[in-house]
Structure 1
């Protein structure tokens, strides 16, 4: 039987009368345990849990360890052959390709990282909104720090039938940017937040931040300055460069941003040297966040060169054996695959080889080590190339803004 912490017991008590709930808890407060316990209390014959691909096996292990449900990684099994007392687990990229799930009835729907349906026009979101569950459990940490514009599709699942137009009018502050004669709407803030949260609480939502219930160890951010390479300056001025037998052409704002990031990162030998120095400076576990597949190859070869055992979490691989078994291992985590949901609190040091453009992924990545169970001071090392775009990206992320929101304001007019 699961032993819940006091704040988790309190959340379940608050939502005892609701059969549609949203647990908007900061990363590390135990949404997995809350979601499964609420599901267990609802006692429906079936449950359908939708999560990110990298989290499927974690959820399977969780249910098999703590409950006696028939746990099924759903693919093409006939709905009619699935017995009661079953939990079907499927990832967001696959769920909309399984129309037979529309036949499922008398079930509880659980969405892990429910922000994945923020865009109601995507096929995954359209499909999920067509399901007919008896109960709904939404799990996400994103709304605790803003991002309220992502909640509208979740409001529908909770039963609040407010229109998107009215939702944005009442709670979201926007402005229009003129980009080459094309108007683009960007979010610049929020309004009536207390009223929004109060209304959502009426529909079974709970908002909870870490500092409301726990005192976690201190977090220390440290910028590691990296000398700029001449190739970065050349590309910035000329928007074209030949490097490593490749021609990089920044003929649009987006490609220019992409190559500026890569020239500040994986194409900058100075950054590789700084990362080597960090590897050599400690015998502790290290978590390294990165963006691109090419970065993964470079960092993995560096680990081999410095005799570091490697674990990895990316879109193709998930292997945490070195992390679990070796106190001096390096775990390489690609943002899209591992910034959300991973428990990595055996480590207390994170190195940001490159930065994401998403503030959601950035905030979630910091919580992989700074969460329940962590007993040591946590360190975040940001490898930033001097005079590069990386400083502007970090500035935006610290303001909890996606850098893409500022892309046309700052990069196009640079």
Structure 2
């Protein structure tokens, strides 16, 4: 198929070619994979500036997305991919393969850096879902930081650059420019641009930016942002909150756990040693079941299962994509309904062919790079994630270009529980991220120039 890029895609390709360190904060569905491969192809075979590129991606994306995208387009079909996946023996064999592009899942980044050390061979690094490197304490970030001086070109791709606030930006931008714009350390970045918010003793739980505009200005030369709604004919999206009422007994159990950090049973208790653990236990209980101190599942109520049944019945045979949070959610839903889980490329094909009435998956498994819009238009959140990145990426599996129907997103929210807090938190995080996206947004006038 011939690649006929839109104006914004041409602009993004030029950006990646002209900037040795560059980021695309592109909404889902804008074609950042095709854009990046087009720029890479030009740098390799027209400009001869790149000889051995490495793509770091989520596992499922590394397995099938990048090479499939290249196969779609006439100008990219010649690219040969080697996937550094599987056992160590399989990974070593993939490294020795004669290929144009090498792809690895992010969980194996540390292994790859240790394997090569100072003999790092890759002169271009493409990080698919740059926001997965948002923690400066993570081993994957530290690994890439070691070899960053050995890499000539770096591209970062994400639709959610600040999933939990602007404090997340420093590690991502550091991997691009080695601290040139936001500073050499996370401590310096916090000191320069933030003040402490919520805290207990010496522990700060929240950092409040002093000047968001100053941060945006610093990174605007290497980061461009585009929202799908500005460039594509996006399907209408309807967000619906389905209120779930706890039965009296379950409500009493919830209040007791919330108040006492303890819910006793004759053969094992549900306990929470800290506020963070308590938060997780309360979220589980709101869904209907909780792990006790022996990791045994304690089923408390079926209120959310009943709400899910109502949504499925109202769908009247139309396919439904259900996102769950905990393993016991998965098992309880499986017992109640006839479902398929998203485990393989065949599941994706069957869903898009309309052969799966209810598809069940965790947002972390389906959050990146999967096109599921052909299979349905109804989403149900059985449990809500804290991560705005997971939430938005998961919704974008159906709410993207090519979707022919309104996308209806049902949120099962248990009343007077922590579910309501999570919904409000997701809304607040979305506001911060949208501010960032607007601040570094590519303007049509720039494209014309």
From the superposition, tell whether residues 104 and 252 of structure 1 become closer, same or farther in structure 2 (CA, over 3 Å): closer
Q: Is the 8 A contact 2:352 2:372 kept in 1?
A: no
- Pairwise mapping of residues 12-411 of structure 1 onto structure 2 (< 5 A)? 12-43=13-44, 44-57=50-63, 58-66=65-73, 67-75=77-85, 76-77=91-92, 81-83=96-98, 85-98=99-112, 99-102=114-117, 103-105=119-121, 107-131=123-147, 132-143=150-161, 147-159=165-177, 160-161=179-180, 162-164=183-185, 165-171=187-193, 173-179=194-200, 181-189=201-209, 191-193=211-213, 195-202=214-221, 204-229=222-247, 230-237=249-256, 238-241=260-263, 247-267=269-289, 268-282=301-315, 283-304=317-338, 308=339, 310-313=340-343, 319-326=347-354, 329-346=357-374, 347-400=376-429
Shift of 1:119: 1.5
| Closer, same or farther: CA 168–386 of 1 in aligned 2, 3 Å | same
How has the CA–CA distance of structure 1 residues 241 and 352 changed in structure 2, closer, same or farther, with 3 Å as cutoff? same
Could you say which residue in structure 2 is the equivalent of 1:406? Answer: none
Give the Å deviation of 1:197. 3.3
The CA RMSD measured in Å over matched residues stands at 2.8
- Conserved in 2, the CA contact under 8 Å of 1:232 and 1:260? no
Contact 1:351 1:381 (8 Å CA) reproduced: yes
CA distance in 2, matches of 1:387, 1:281: 25
Residues 1:167 and 1:183: Cα distance change in structure 2 (over 3 Å): closer
CA–CA separation in structure 2 for the residues paired with 1:226 and 1:265: 10
TM-aligned CA deviation for residue 101 of structure 1: 4.0
Q: Secondary structure at the match of 2:342?
A: strand
Task: Choose between structure 1 and 2: higher strand proportion.
Answer: 1
**8 Å contact kept, 1:311–1:321:** no
Counterpart secondary structure, 1:336: helix
Q: C-alpha separation between the residues in 1 aligned to 2:168 and 2:61?
A: 21
SS at match of 1:276: helix
- Calculate the TM-score normalised by the size of structure 2: 0.79
Q: Distance in 2 between matches of 1:184 and 1:385?
A: 30
Question: TM-score of the superposition, structure 1-length normalised?
Answer: 0.85
Q: State the distance in 1 between where 2:104 and 2:219 align.
A: 27
Verify the 8 A CA contact 2:84 2:102 in the aligned structure 1.
yes
Q: Report which stretch shifted further, 100-109 or 289-298.
A: 100-109
Unaligned runs of 5+ in 1: 403-414
Note the C-alpha offset of 1:90: 0.9
Q: What is the deviation of 1:68?
A: 1.9
Q: Secondary structure at the match of 1:393?
A: helix
In structure 2, the CA distance between the partners of 1:178 and 1:311, relative to structure 1 (3 Å rule), is closer
Cα distance between partner residues in 2 of 1:196 and 1:256: 35
CA offsets, 1:238-288, max 9 Å, x none? 443357976312342122212211111033301111111211222212111
Cα displacement (A) at 1:105: 2.8
Alpha-carbon displacement from aligned partner over 1:327-372 (angstroms, at most 9, x marks no partner): 6522222122222332222222110100011222222222222112
Distance 1:225 1:185 in 2: 30
Change (3 A) 1:191 1:222: same
Name the CA distance, whole Å, in 1 between partners of 2:210 and 2:190: 9
1:78-110 deviation digits (Å, cap 9, x = unpaired): 698443x52111111111112234433353211
Number of residues paired by the alignment? 391
